[in-house]
Amino acid sequence: MPTLKESFWDPIAGFGVTFRTMFRKPVTEQYPFEKEPTAPRFHGRHQLNRWPDGLEKCIGCELCAWACPADAIYVEADSNTDAKRFSPGERYGRVYQINYLRCILCGLCVEACPTRALTMTNEYELADNNRADLIYEKSDLLAPLLPGMEQPPHPMRLGETDGDYYRNATGAVDDSTASEQGGNQQ
């Protein structure tokens, strides 16, 4: 036999949370019609950065791929030549893919990259209706050309050696405006 409390009070008390919430301001976000900015250091889609003359920072070393715990990165390097140069130094990333079906956005690949070629943006809309489109190619990941940049291949404009680029020998690189544009540098 239920007690008086169980018969009368408990059913009303069950609605207590409902009644209290009815008078609070709704916190519903109207996504995707209204998009809230992410935290500045949010780990979103990756970006392959460029030097200020447009050459690619990626040297195809594959360290990002080896660091990835989800085996989400695939890199194939090729050699630069004086006639066909994509990055300072010997090699560049001819094929660069990130599989966002696997990626857990941990950022370990960014930590492993020796040239700051790879950073992460705040872009989080990485859903699609088929698996193939979630394998991002180099063309999807490369940073856009900014004013003053040339589309590679082209000769090195910021120095005669890759060391000049890394040491900023010509003073062309302002650290605050390096071509990690649009990224959170993580």
How many CB atoms sit inside 10 A of residue 153's CB? 17
Instruction: Return the number of the residue (105 or 172) whose C-beta is nearest ligand SF4.
Output: 105
Q: Bridge-partner residues for 47, per DSSP? A: 119
Which residues form the interface with ligand SF4 (CB under 6 A)? 58-64, 67-68, 70, 72-73, 75, 93, 98, 103-109, 112-113, 115, 117-118
Residue 186 beta carbon to ligand SF4: minimum distance, rounded to whole angstroms: 10
Which burial class, exposed, middle or buried, applies to 131 when counting CB atoms under 10 A from its CB (0-12, 13-18, 19+)? exposed
- How many Cα atoms within 13 Å fall on the side-chain side of residue 61? 19
Nearer to ligand SF4, 109 or 149 (CB): 109
Question: CB of 120: closest distance to ligand SF4 in angstroms?
Answer: 7
**Pick 10 or 167: Cβ nearer ligand SF4:** 167
**Is residue 103 within 8 Å of residue 74, measured between CB atoms?**
no
If you search the block for the tokens 């935290």, which residue do you land on? 39
Nearest-approach distance from CB 10 to ligand SF4, in angstroms: 48
Q: From the CB of 113, what's the least distance to ligand SF4, in Å?
A: 3
**Spatial contact of 75 and 64, defined as CB atoms under 8 Å apart:** yes
Report the residue number, 53 or 56, with the smaller CB distance to ligand SF4.
56
Closest approach of ligand SF4 to the CB of residue 61, in Å: 4
Whether the upstream peptide bond of residue 32 has omega within 30° of 0, thus cis, is yes
**Phi, psi values for residue 142, rounded to 5°:** -65, 140
With respect to ligand SF4, which residue has the nearer C-beta, 55 or 103? Answer: 103
